[in-house]
A and B are shown apart, each in its own frame.
Chain A
Amino acid sequence: QQPVQSPQAVILREGEDAVINCSSSKALYSVHWYRQKHGEAPVFLMILLKGGEQKGHEKISASFNEKKQQSSLYLTASQLSYSGTYFCGTESGRDDKIIFGKGTRLHILP
């Protein structure tokens, strides 16, 4: 079942923060976050595993609330290069297929 992402789109000025949410109606084993630029393939950002993880990658971090079956991606002090479409992908079990949400389009203005 496809996870639900919110918001669908967001426009920010450079330096502002953003939060992208991903929720599932099924129990989750892991959540994967990717960013895709127009015309390119998705690029892996991070994976969060069952157990309720929180991870950081420069100014991009994410949390995974296993009980709520939700994950959030946090973008702080956004840069122009952060623009793109962010997808969360969820797995219900180890080595299961990843099902992607519809994506959140992020546009950063100078």
Chain B
Amino acid sequence: GQNIDQPTEMTATEGAIVQINCTYQTSGFNGLFWYQQHAGEAPTFLSYNVLDGLEEKGRFSSFLSRSKGYSYLLLKELQMKDSASYLCAVRSLSGNTPLVFGKGTRLSVIA
């Protein structure tokens, strides 16, 4: 089976840094994705990790530890527009299995 766990809600201050964690247990692992979804809109791709380590892309970074079944998304210099849900999704070893999504973390950025 597969299980993906993320915090339900987080609140952070404009200009600050926030880290959103994701832990997973899957039958095989072949990559982890982070998506951003604003209310009522479609998810948009943020990052992809398949090897251990940190991937940086502007204000957003994503980290993966395969041995620990753990990832985090780091958002720096928070802006009000970063208020959204952040979805962690895992791809299994089997190329025929679709992505499995976590329940998402709703981030509220406050002034």
Partners in one complex: no
Taking Cβ atoms with an 8 Å cutoff, the residues of A that contact B are none
